[in-house]
Amino acid sequence: MIRFEHVAKRYPGGVQALSDVNFELERGEMAFLTGHSGAGKSTLLRLIAVLERPSRGQVLFDGKNVGRVSSGQIPKLRRKVGVIFQDHKLLTDRKVLDNVALPLLIAGYSWSEIRRRVRAALDLVGLLEKENTLIPALSGGQQQRVGIARAMIAKPPVLLADEPTGNLDPELSEELMRLFCTLNELGTTVLIATHDLDLVERLGRRTLVLKSGSMVDDRISNRSWRGDGGAVA
Amino acid sequence: MSRKDHGGRGDLRAWARRHAYGLLSSVGTLVRNPLTSALTIVVLAIALTLPLGLNTALVNLEAVHDNLDRLDSISVFLELEADEEGARRVASKLSSWRNILAVDPVSPDAGIRELAGASGLDRFDVGDVPLPWVLEVTPNSTVDIAELAQRLRRADRVDTVVVDMDWVRRLDAILHVFSRLIVLLAVLFAASVLFVISNNIRTEIERRREEIEILALVGATPGYIRRPFLYSGLWMGLGGALLAWLTVYAGLWMLSAPVEALAATYGTSAEMIAPSVQALGLMLAGSGALGIIGAWIAVSRQLARINP
């Protein structure tokens, strides 16, 4: 589903965010992406959602080289990827309902359908009673969950999350991870960037480790090592 | 997004809904920022009032000009031999003509006094040059002046006929200059409308930068992002045009009494001519189109920055 081939990303100014990253994420797989802050986790996710283009190598999404898609094709691609941002990226002057509805509004769903699905999504993240609340009135954790509801509402085949549990207490984090697992079981490919190693260990999923822009580890939880950065078939 | 996800209702309805959401969003923005919107519309209205107001003034002056033709008089110089009695006889005969409204005989003495007054001299010494009686003929409004002059020339005891239309021609020329000036002004102010709206949308985009970015992040097409701004541009253009029209209308209403009074001194009545429905429609369409174009320019420039 997602495949990185010798991907490097250098930002203007000379910062090398990623260098020669190789890995593949199968359709329906769920994996964690860990590493210290500044290791390139966010950049890697941004490359998948075409928020950045790689400086070298190719990022393949569903067999398509996303580094090469025309800007006219970008929106189409982004709709296939639900992204949960570290800084939420919510419309702060709108209600929860309007924020979660965005992907459906863009797709042109009828308002009644949108209402129904927004309520279902908010129910899933435990924010049903906050439907008409303005974003600034929510706590950091609640805002994070609004972002999650928005990312999954249009049922994209791929879900990317950048530190989704960063602002949440352990209980909520656990609950959220279970939600991701559920979505994964329903067929969504999930990639979660996090530094919450405890959580990663407990879930025993595939873990990709970035260090200074290089993929230094690719393993299942803490148990089985699978080489030192090579692609996994 | 597959068709199935729309519940099988097809892409056309989804498209229509996206448009409706864009329209609602633009209205929402205007309503959320009433002061900014109002200020922009007022600035646009002022820019549009000037050409529209001048054009209305021109239309009214042209109407007055048409009326003035009739006030234009013809000077009929009688033969030198004609004395007062003869002049009055010719005058009464001419005043019975269907095309003539009034005939006013001017004696040679009165003619000299008038000439002296016009030249600013106390005494106007014409020596022994004899002056004839002159009949000031006021034609009917509908008459063809040239043809009437021709007929007068053939009349009894008439020596020369002078039609003084110079000032009418001059006014005509002035009005032409004026109308050309209005075209120039209209072009200038149309450009200013474009810039005001474009600049306003640009500021609005800057303010909503985050929102645009978020929309792009969740997969909105440039068209979807652009649409609310285009509608905003349209509303501003239409609002400005409408307000300009109301302003001109109010101006006409305020001027109508003094103009009526002025017309009364000329013994006529004057009805102010308001801009026509066509003019209003043209201005609304033009201003609205300029609004959309202005917004398009502003949004396209910003969008290019967001999508890498």
The pLDDT tens digits of the residues spanning B160-187 come to 888 766 667 777 788 888 888 888 888 8
Minimum distance, in Å, between the CA of residue B257 and any CA atom of chain A: 51
Query: Which residues of chain A have a CB within 8 Å of the CB of B8?
Result: none
CB contact under 8 A, A107 and B210: no
Predicted confidence (pLDDT) per residue in B209-228, tens digit: 888 888 888 888 888 888 98
Q: Which chain B residues are Cβ-neighbours of A83 within 8 angstroms? A: 217-218
Confidence of residue A166 (pLDDT cuts 50, 70, 90): confident
Return the structure tokens found at A180: 């991701």
Amino acid at B24: L
Q: Would you say A229 and A217 are in contact if contact means Cβ atoms under 8 Å apart?
A: yes
Mark yes or no for CB contact B219/A155 under 8 Å: no
Question: Which of these, A28, A20, A12, A31, lies nearest to A58 by C-alpha position?
Answer: A20
The answer to whether B217 contacts A83, with C-beta atoms less than 8 Å apart, is yes
For B32, name the nearest residue in chain A, comparing CA atoms only.
A93
CATH of domain B73-164: 3.30.70.3040
Question: Which of A71, A79, A85 has the CB atom closest to B307's CB atom?
Answer: A71
Tell me, what's the pLDDT at A227?
43
Q: What is the pLDDT, as a whole number, of residue A48?
A: 93
Contacts of A146 in chain B (CB under 8 A): none
pLDDT surpassing 60 at residue B69: no
Which comes out higher in pLDDT, residue A197 or A34?
Answer: A34
Contact flag A74-B307 (C-beta cutoff 8 Å): yes
Are A1 and A189 contacting, i.e. CB atoms less than 8 angstroms apart?
yes
Min CA distance, B199 vs chain A (Å)? 23
Q: Do A107 and B7 touch (CB under 8 A)?
A: no
Q: Where are the alpha helices (DSSP H) in chain B?
A: 11-32, 34-71, 84-94, 108-119, 145-154, 166-207, 209-217, 222-265, 277-306
> Mutate which of A105, A117, A152 to disrupt the B interface (most B C-beta within 10 Å)?
A105
Q: Which residue of chain A is at minimal alpha-carbon distance from B221?
A: A75
Q: Which of B1, B213, B305 is the best residue to mutate to test the A interface, defined by the most A CB atoms within 10 Å of its own CB?
A: B1
Per-residue pLDDT band at B128 (split at 50, 70, 90): low
Any idea of the CA torsion for A148, A151, A156, A159, to the nearest 10 degrees?
Answer: -60
pLDDT band at B290 (very low <50, low <70, confident <90, very high): confident
pLDDT at A226: 44
Task: Tell me what pLDDT residue B297 has.
Answer: 84
* Per-residue pLDDT, A223: 45
Dihedral, CA of residue A40, residue A42, residue A45 and residue A50, to nearest 10: -100
* Mutation site for B-interface testing, chosen from A47, A52, A78 by largest number of B Cβ within 10 Å: A78
> Which residue of chain B has the CA closest to A108?
B14
Long-range contacts of B277-283 (CB under 8 A, 24+ apart): B279/B52, B279/B55, B280/B241, B280/B245, B283/B48, B283/B52, B283/B241, B283/B244, B283/B245
Contact B308 A85 (CB under 8 A): no
- Residue A206 scores a pLDDT above 80: yes
* Rounded Cα gap, residues A163 and A84, in angstroms: 8
* Residues β-bridged to residue A224: A220
B-chain CB neighbours of A71 within 8 Å are 307-308
Which is more confident, B71 or A43? A43
- Asked if residues B103 and B164 have their Cβ atoms less than 8 Å apart, the reply is no
Phi, psi of B47 (to 5 degrees): -60, -35
pLDDT at B96: 85
pLDDT for residue B141: 67
The pLDDT, as a whole number, for residue A54 is 92
Closest-CA distance, A202 to chain B, in angstroms, reads 31
Which residue among B6, B32, B211 sits closest to A108, beta carbon to beta carbon? B6
More confident residue, B117 or A136: A136
pLDDT class for A44, splitting at 50, 70, 90? very high
Q: Judge: A105–B211 Cβ closer than 8 Å, yes or no.
A: no
What's the rounded Cα separation, in Å, for the pair B175 and B49?
Answer: 19
Task: List the one residue out of A132, A82, A133, A127 whose CA is nearest residue A104.
Answer: A82
Residue A109 in 3-state DSSP? coil
Q: Cβ of B207 under 8 Å from any chain A Cβ?
A: no
The answer to which of A12-26, B65-79, B135-149 has the lowest mean pLDDT is B65-79
* Residue A25 pLDDT class (50, 70, 90 cuts): very high
CA A93 – CA B39 distance, rounded (Å): 22
Mean pLDDT of B223-242: 90
DSSP one-letter code for A140? H
Question: A98 pLDDT band (50/70/90 cuts)?
Answer: very high
DSSP A90: -
Give the chain B residue nearest A80 (alpha carbons). Answer: B1
CA distances from B14 to A104, A111, B19, B260 (A): 10, 11, 9, 58
Closest residue on chain B to A157 (Cα): B1
Distances (CA, A) of A7 to A40, A41, A45, A76, B236: 12, 13, 12, 22, 47
Show me where the domains of chain B are located: 12-68+169-306, 73-164
Which of B21, B215, B210 is CA-nearest to residue A87?
Answer: B210
Residue with tokens 């691609």: A77
Give the minimum alpha-carbon distance from A38 to chain B in angstroms, rounded to a whole number.
22
At B124, the pLDDT band (50, 70, 90 cuts) reads low
Cα distances from B45 to residues A107, B26, B284, in angstroms, run: 37, 20, 11
- Sequence letter at residue B54: L
> Using CA of residue A91, residue A92, residue A98, residue A99, what is the dihedral sign?
positive
pLDDT > 80? residue B91: yes
Contacts for B152 with CB less than 8 Å, ≥ 6 apart? B74, B76, B94, B137, B158, B161
Q: What is the mean pLDDT of chain A?
A: 87
CA distance B210 to B216: 10
